[in-house]
Amino acid sequence: SQTIHQWPATLVQPVGSPLSLECTVEGTSNPNLYWYRQAAGRGLQLLFYSVGIGQISSEVPQNLSASRPQDRQFILSSKKLLLSDSGFYLCAWSGERGYGNTIYFGEGSWLTVV
């Protein structure tokens, strides 16, 4: 069966520091991969999605970036964090394309920027 792992689970970072969140999927090949962010009490905002290695579509340019160095690995990064980057970050995957595209989420990473 397919599983998705995301880490770290929680982190507290000072403003201006770098960020790296990592996500891996097991049990499938060539998945679609996603990063979503949820600010406190808010909805799910799509940040990036990837349909293959090195292929990244950005929804929110800001100061975040994503990379997919391997088929089942997705990394979210920032060179300098802002207070507004605080939130719940969710990696997700799906195995299909098209309108039957069911997305499954990892456990999430809580980021607090201080």
Partner 1 sequence: QQPVQSPQAVILREGEDAVINCSSSKALYSVHWYRQKHGEAPVFLMILLKGGEQKGHEKISASFNEKKQQSSLYLTASQLSYSGTYFCGTIRAGTALIFGKGTTLSVSS
Binding positions for partner 1, rule: CB under 8 A: 32, 34, 42-44, 46, 49, 51, 57, 59, 90, 94, 97-108
Rounded least distance, CB 1 to partner 1, Å: 14
Half-sphere exposure of 110 (CA within 13 A, CB side): 4
Cβ at position 100, least distance to partner 1 in Å:
6
Backbone angles phi, psi at 84, to 5 degrees: -70, -5
Which residues does 55 contact at the CB level (< 8 Å), separation at least 6? 68
User: In this complex, which beta carbon is closest to partner 1, that of residue 83 or of residue 97?
Assistant: 97
